[in-house]
Chains A and B, each alone.
Chain A
Amino acid sequence: MISINEVIETNEMIRRMNLDVRTITMGISLLGCVGKDVAETCQKVYDKIVTSAKDLVATGKEISKMYGIPIVHKRISVTPIALVGASVCKTSEDFVEIAKTLDKAAQEVGVNFIGGYSALVSKGMTKADELLIRSIPEALSSTNLVCSSVNCGSTKTGLNMDAVRLLGEIIKETAELTKEQDSIGCCKFVVFCNAPDDNPFMAGAFHGVTEADCVINVGVSGPGVVKAALEAVRGESFEILCETIKRTAFKITRVGQLVAKEASSRLGVPFGIVDLSLAPTPAVGDSVGEILEEIGLEYAGAPGTTAALALLNDQVKKGGVMASSYVGGLSGAFIPVSEDQRMIDAVSAEALSLEKLEAMTCVCSVGLDMIAVPGSTSAATISGIIADEMAIGMVNQKTTAVRLIPVIGKEYGDRAEFGGLLGYAPIMKVNNYSCERFINRGGRIPAPIHSFKN
C-alpha cells in the first residue's frame, strides 16, 4: 500500500515544484476534409475539428480533478494545411480563409492553440506549399490561436535552401504585420529540420500524415521537480547527479502516461505518445536555466553549459523512456529564452549569446527557441541563422527548430514584451556580417553521406 511519505512526495512536487502535465494535444487528420471549393473545405474542416474535440477541454479538467494534478493546456494539432488545401486553394488568401476557420474552431472548443498551419518542404515546394508559406504573415496576424510551422530539411533529404531563403523574408514580414505587439506573430511560427509527426508542443505541433485519424499525445514537464531533486545532491559526483535526474524524470513521465491513458480511454481516441520534455515557464522555480545552475554553472552559457545540457537531456530520456509505453515528439530539455526566467537573466548578464545557444542546440531536444533579435536584422541573416540550425539537425539526425522574433523598432539591449506564457525577452545581439551571397545561391544542400543507410 502507498505510504504517507510517497503521497507527500508527489503532492509536494505538485504544490511547491510546479509539477504539471503541460499539454494534452489531440491530433486530428483533416485529409478527408477536402471539398469542391474553399468554402466547402472550410466547413468540413470546422465540422471535423468541432466534432472530434468537443469533449477535449472538459475531459482534461475532469482528469485534472481526479488526480489532483494541473493539466495546463488542451490543444489541437491538424494535418499540415498545405496538403489539405492543395487542390482548392489557388491563392494565398484562400489559405488564410482556412487559417481563420482553424481559429474559429479552436475558439469554439476552448483550446488555447491549434497547430498545423504547416508545409512539409524538406526537398521541394509544391505550388500549394509556396502559397501557404507566403500566406503565413497574413494568417498569423489575422488569427489568435493558429500556430504555423514549416519543415525545410531532413537528414534523408538535405536542406531546401529555396525555402530557407523564403522563410527569412516571411519571418520579417510576419514581424512587420504584428509590430504593434512586439512582433508577436513570430512567436507562433517555427522552422524545423527533421520535424516529428507527433509533437504535442506548440508552436510546432502538427498531425503528420503517418498518423491515425485521431490520437491523443501528452506533453509532460517539470523542470522545478528536477531542480529540487538536484538541490539534495549538491556537490555529489556525476554518477549520483545522473541517477537523480533519471529517477526524477521517470516519476514525472509516469504521471504523463497515466493522464494520456485516461484521456485516451475517456475520449475514445487512441493514445499516441508521451513527449517527455522539460518545458520551462516564466514562473520562478520552473526553469531549465535553474537546473543548469544547480548542476554547477554560475549562469547558463558559462563554459561547461553544453556538457551539462547534454547530460541533462540524455538522463531525462533514459528515465522517461521506461516510464511510458510510447515515447515520441521532441522529448528532451527545451531551452527557450523568453519562457525561462533564468535564461533571460543569463542573456541580460551577457553570459549567454546566440552562438552559445546554437552550440547548446546540438545536444538539446529542439533548437533556437523564442529568441528576440533586433528588428533591423536582415531577412538574409535570419535565413543564415535558420540554415545553420537546420544543418545541425540534418547532420546529427535530430530535430532542430528556429523560432526567432525580429522585434520591429527594437535593438540590442531593448526588451520585447509578449505577455502571458510567452513572457518577455531581452533583444539579443546578432552577428550581422553578410551571408547574402550564400543564401541567394538557391537550390538544395544534399543529404549527408551517413543518411545513405539502405
Chain B
Amino acid sequence: MKRTIITVIGQDKVGIIAKVCNYLAGNNINILDIAQTTVQGYFNMMMIVDAENAVKSHDEIASELVGIGEEIGVQIKAQKEEIFNMMHRI
C-alpha cells in the first residue's frame, strides 16, 4: 500500500481537522492515523492516509490541499511516505 503523509502547520484554530477530513472523505482517501503536537508555538498535525483508491492523482490532491491551507491560513503539504522512510529507516 502506497501511503501519503499530510502535514498541517500554522496557528491552531477551530475546524482545521474538519476541513481536511472533509476534503479527504470527498475524494475517497482513507485516514490511517492522526497525530498532533505543538513546536515553538506552532500547531503541527500529521495524517497518514491511504490514497490508493483516491479519485484524483497525487499532484491534484497536493495542489488542492495547498489551496485549502491558503483559505484557512495554514500550510498543508502532501508527500509520499517514502521520503520519510528513506531518511529515518535503514
B-contacting residues of A (Cβ < 8 Å)? Answer: 1-11, 62, 65-69, 251, 254-255, 257-258
CA of A65 to CA of B64 in the docked complex: distance in angstroms? 12
Q: Which residue of A lies closest to B89 (CB)?
A: A2
CB of B90 to closest CB in A, whole Å: 8
CA of A103 to CA of B65 in the docked complex: distance in angstroms? 38
Which chain A residues border B84 with CB–CB below 8 Å? 2, 6-7, 10
Q: Which residue of A lies closest to B85 (CB)?
A: A2
List 8 other contacts, CB 8 Å, given A4-B35, A255-B83: A2-B5, A10-B87, A11-B77, A66-B58, A66-B79, A67-B82, A67-B83, A69-B83
- Could you give 20 example pairs across A and B, Cβ below 8 Å? A1-B48, A2-B81, A4-B46, A6-B88, A10-B83, A10-B87, A11-B7, A65-B58, A65-B62, A66-B58, A66-B59, A67-B83, A68-B78, A68-B83, A251-B88, A255-B86, A257-B86, A258-B82, A258-B83, A258-B86
CB of B37 to closest CB in A, whole Å: 6
Q: Which residue of B lies closest to A323 (CB)?
A: B86
- Number of interface residues, chain B, beta carbon within 8 A: 26
Q: Which residue of A lies closest to B44 (CB)?
A: A8
Q: Which residue of B lies closest to A3 (CB)?
A: B35
Tell me if B18 is interfacial: C-beta within 8 Å of chain A: no
Which chain B residues border A10 with CB–CB below 8 Å? 83-84, 87-88
CA of A10 to CA of B84 in the docked complex: distance in angstroms? 7
A66 and B80 contact, CB distance less than 8 A: yes
CA of A69 to CA of B79 in the docked complex: distance in angstroms? 9
CB of A271 to closest CB in B, whole Å: 14
Tell me if B71 is interfacial: C-beta within 8 Å of chain A: no
CA of A5 to CA of B77 in the docked complex: distance in angstroms? 16
CA of A68 to CA of B46 in the docked complex: distance in angstroms? 14
CB of B43 to closest CB in A, whole Å: 12
CB of A3 to closest CB in B, whole Å: 7
A-B contact count (CB 8 A): 64
B36 and A4 contact, CB distance less than 8 A: yes
**Which 6 pairs, one residue from A and one from B, show the smallest C-beta to C-beta distance?**
A68-B79, A4-B35, A67-B83, A254-B86, A6-B88, A4-B46
Which chain A residues border B14 with CB–CB below 8 Å? none
Interface residue ranges of B51-79 to A (CB < 8 Å):
58-59, 62, 77-79
Which chain A residues border B7 with CB–CB below 8 Å? 7-8, 11
CB of A99 to closest CB in B, whole Å: 37
CA of A65 to CA of B77 in the docked complex: distance in angstroms? 10
A4 and B88 contact, CB distance less than 8 A: no
Assess A4 versus B37: contact at CB under 8 Å? Given A62-B59, A65-B62, A68-B83: yes
Which chain A residues border B46 with CB–CB below 8 Å? 4, 7-8
CA of A11 to CA of B81 in the docked complex: distance in angstroms? 12
Which chain A residues border B44 with CB–CB below 8 Å? 4, 8
Which chain B residues border A257 with CB–CB below 8 Å? 86
Q: Which residue of B lies closest to A5 (CB)?
A: B37
CA of A68 to CA of B61 in the docked complex: distance in angstroms? 13
Assess A7 versus B86: contact at CB under 8 Å? Given A1-B33, A1-B48, A2-B81: no
Which chain B residues border A5 with CB–CB below 8 Å? 37
Looking at B44, B46, B83, B85, which has the most chain A CB atoms within 10 Å of its CB?
Answer: B83
Which chain B residues border A8 with CB–CB below 8 Å? 7, 37, 39, 44, 46
Which chain B residues border A3 with CB–CB below 8 Å? 35
CB of A413 to closest CB in B, whole Å: 43
Q: Which residue of A lies closest to B75 (CB)?
A: A15
Which chain A residues border B78 with CB–CB below 8 Å? 68
CA of A3 to CA of B33 in the docked complex: distance in angstroms? 10
Assess A2 versus B48: contact at CB under 8 Å? Given A7-B7, A65-B62: yes
CA of A30 to CA of B86 in the docked complex: distance in angstroms? 34
CA of A2 to CA of B59 in the docked complex: distance in angstroms? 22
CA of A81 to CA of B33 in the docked complex: distance in angstroms? 54
Q: Which residue of B lies closest to A252 (CB)?
A: B87
A2 and B88 contact, CB distance less than 8 A: yes
CA of A255 to CA of B79 in the docked complex: distance in angstroms? 13
Q: Which residue of B lies closest to A19 (CB)?
A: B87
CA of A68 to CA of B48 in the docked complex: distance in angstroms? 15
Assess A67 versus B88: contact at CB under 8 Å? Given A1-B33, A4-B36, A62-B59: no
Assess A67 versus B79: contact at CB under 8 Å? Given A1-B48, A2-B48, A7-B5: yes
CA of A254 to CA of B87 in the docked complex: distance in angstroms? 6
Which chain B residues border A4 with CB–CB below 8 Å? 35-37, 44, 46
